[in-house]
A = this chain, B = another copy of it.
């Protein structure tokens, strides 16, 4: 299977290297940035171009792994061909291809990627969508060569996936950044928190997060909460503390009511 990559960022890098390792033929890299295109093409020992008029026309699969914002323009600038075009974006609907590509779909691996850090692709879920069954099958087979977990999902479902990933990855990482700042402001080493953070992530492999919840907000302990609010030095942090505490309390109360109701049945 001949594959052209449109993009040479973190995801394009990790995905193209893994696909090559799994026997896909990466025939070309396109990127508007010469250094990125050259760097990735170098790793893959394949040609690259920065001119979208020069994109090879005879590949089987065109993977658009670029920022959401440049995706519409790029799709318009590639000349239509008979290959299957797929983007890798969580929050972009499949029909972005509609008026331009003949065959199209989505290939969304749910993970955070960096250019340098290797990841184990086999455990990364890949969410796929296509305009017809035949092309969905092609994407399914391609994804299965990389990952044990291939899940068809609609464009609407993928929006929620992306939103859930913002909570579980972007927002979570920011809570770690806040914790780091609190510790460093008081001459405490951030890495002392790592075992707690690891255990927080490990726990929910076996216990649903709603059942793993602990802390003062579970019982809405105003005494502890007010003391902790006083320690925070900005209104924004106080708002985050209050909103999250309220939400924890609501989730736990709802959970209690559901459980009570189930037990009374």
> A236 vs B210: C-alpha distance in the bound complex, in angstroms?
17
The residue from B196, B221, B224 contacting A112, defined by CB atoms under 8 A apart: B196
Chain B residues whose CB sits within 8 angstroms of the CB of A196 once the complex forms: 110-112, 165, 168-169
- The reply to whether the CB of A1 lies closer than 8 angstroms to some CB of chain B is no
Instruction: Mark contacts of A7-34 with chain B using CB atoms, 8 A cut-off: 1 yes-contact digit, 0 otherwise.
Output: 0000000000000000000000000000
Most B C-beta atoms less than 10 A away, residue of A153, A231, A232: A231
* Shortest Cβ distance from residue A30 to the other chain B in the assembled complex, whole angstroms: 23
A110-B192 contact in complex given A180-B209, A227-B91, C-beta closer than 8 Å: yes
Chain B residues whose CB sits within 8 angstroms of the CB of A203 once the complex forms: 112, 114, 117, 173
* Shortest Cβ distance from residue A163 to the other chain B in the assembled complex, whole angstroms: 5
Establish whether residues B195 and A123, one from each chain, have CB atoms under 8 Å apart when the complex forms.
yes
* Shortest Cβ distance from residue A126 to the other chain B in the assembled complex, whole angstroms: 10
Interface size on A, residues (CB 8 A): 89
Chain B residues whose CB sits within 8 angstroms of the CB of A185 once the complex forms: 160
Instruction: Mark contacts of A51-79 with chain B using CB atoms, 8 A cut-off: 1 yes-contact digit, 0 otherwise.
Output: 00000000000000000110000000000
> A75 vs B162: C-alpha distance in the bound complex, in angstroms?
50
- The reply to whether the CB of A45 lies closer than 8 angstroms to some CB of chain B is no
Establish whether residues A164 and B177, one from each chain, have CB atoms under 8 Å apart when the complex forms.
no
Chain B residue nearest to A157 in the complex (CB): B186
8 Å CB interface, A167-186 against B:
167-183, 185-186
Chain B residue nearest to A169 in the complex (CB): B200
The residue from B151, B177, B195, B210 contacting A177, defined by CB atoms under 8 A apart: B210
Chain B residues whose CB sits within 8 angstroms of the CB of A212 once the complex forms: 173
- The reply to whether the CB of A46 lies closer than 8 angstroms to some CB of chain B is no
Where the two chains meet, the residues of A that have a C-beta atom closer than 8 Å to any C-beta of B are: 68-69, 91, 110-112, 114, 117, 119-120, 123-125, 149, 151, 153, 156-157, 159-183, 185-190, 192-201, 203-206, 208-210, 212-217, 221, 224, 227-228, 231-232, 236-237, 239-240, 243-244, 246-248, 250-251
User: Can you sample 9 A-B contacts with CB below 8 Å?
Assistant: A110-B193, A160-B188, A161-B192, A162-B228, A164-B179, A164-B180, A164-B183, A173-B204, A174-B251
